[in-house]
Amino acid sequence: MTNKAISICGELVETGHRLLQRVYYEDTDFSGLIYHARYLHFLERGRTDYLRCLGVEQSALLGIDDEGLVFVVHRMEIDFKSPARMDDVLEILTTTVKAGGAKMVLDQEIRRGEQLLIAAKVTIAVVNRLGRPRRLPETLATQFLTSSAQAPR
């Protein structure tokens, strides 16, 4: 980790997006370990701030055109490798695997230092304001793919 200042919404890196988050007492269960469902919150923050770093705010996408555009989690596969504990600083990494048509596929990891804690594959459906599938605009697909262009496959 470097000493350079990092934005509150993380930073774009050569493989996609990187966000740092601390584990607080409210994130843990009676055992002192992070409660498993809280990982979903950290993953969502990673995806949302990835968009922000690309210059896109989800609230603005609803008014992008007459149809509106919304991202909806369609499927999520999560491997829980190791638990996090209170006061740990976690790194949430998000990489675009596919962006086009009416879906995106993102790989996400949560790490504590070099240790992998969570590996997730997230399929995002692109829908209009009525919940019907719609194509991801080519410019947005390109932004996602370009930001992860150097990611290992």
* Residue ranges of domains in the chain: 11-147
Whether 153 shows a pLDDT value over 50: the answer reads no
CB 23 within 8 A of CB 34: yes
Q: Which residues are catalytic?
A: 29
Of the pLDDT bands very low, low, confident and very high (cuts 50, 70, 90), residue 64 is confident
Cα separation, 134 vs 69, whole angstroms: 8
Of the pLDDT bands very low, low, confident and very high (cuts 50, 70, 90), residue 4 is low
Task: Give the per-residue SS3 of the chain.
Answer: CCCCCCECCEEEECCEEEEEEECCHHHECCCCEECCCHHHHHHHHHHHHHHHHCCCCHHHHCCCCCCCCEEEEEEEEEEECCCCECCCEEEEEEEEEEEECCEEEEEEEEEECCEEEEEEEEEEEEECCCCCECCCCHHHHHHHHHHCCCCCC
Cα separation, 63 vs 106, whole angstroms: 24
Whether 1 shows a pLDDT value over 50: the answer reads no
Q: Report the amino acid identity of residue 83.
A: P
pLDDT of residue 152: 44
Cα separation, 68 vs 129, whole angstroms: 5
pLDDT in tens, 113-126: 999 999 999 999 99
Q: Which CATH architecture has domain 11-147?
A: Roll (3.10)
